[in-house]
Amino acid sequence: MKKIIYSIIATSLICSTFTSCKTSEKNYRAAYELAQQKKTESDSETDNLIKKEEVPQPTLIDGVVLPVRSIYTSPVRDIEGFNPADVKKYNVVIASFRQLFNAKSVRKRAITAGFDKAYILVDRDKVYYVVAQSCSTGQEAEKALKKVTKAEPVVMKSPYPYILRRP
């Protein structure tokens, strides 16, 4: 008899521990609010610097002001029709993706729209940038930027298109 009572008590204790450990929206909200309270002013400053770095900055190049981001990138070489000689210093970016598949798809649409030398650049964070046209000078980049804006080979939202300068 005692064994049955002990087993019932043990079973009820085990069941109560399993049901009390569930996460709930209330727990998530409490954790989120605690994290927001601990967020410091320096965190906000860091976030603002990161966001500012991602936005193209108006830059004077060869007497022309262009929206420019400077990023260390390398070309994706294993795509059909890629020619390393096409990669120059100023590149008109029309889109960027975390997935190479998506970048290749937009590149194909750019080629269909008349940008035959479109290619893809990748940075150290594995972000793929689709380049519609590449240029050697600021004046060429300005013309290419206008051409891409007018042709709009893909749907582009701010900040696209912009110039990606390869240091």
d(CA 93, CA 105): 14
Contact at 8 Å (CB) between 92 and 131? Answer: yes
Over range 45-54, report the average pLDDT. Answer: 60
**Res. 104 pLDDT band, cuts 50 70 90:** very high
pLDDT of residue 33: 80
Over range 125-150, report the average pLDDT. Answer: 93
Over range 77-85, report the average pLDDT. Answer: 83
1: pLDDT strictly greater than 80: no
**Res. 159 pLDDT band, cuts 50 70 90:** confident
d(CA 104, CA 118): 10
pLDDT of residue 37: 76
pLDDT of residue 109: 93
d(CA 147, CA 88): 17
The 10s digit of each residue's pLDDT in 109-132 is 999 999 999 999 999 999 999 999
pLDDT of residue 56: 83
d(CA 158, CA 55): 9
53's tokens:
């770095």
Question: Nearest 5 degrees, angle CA 145-CA 96-CA 78?
Answer: 100
- Cβ neighbours for 72, distance < 8 A, ≥ 6 positions apart: 123, 124, 166, 167
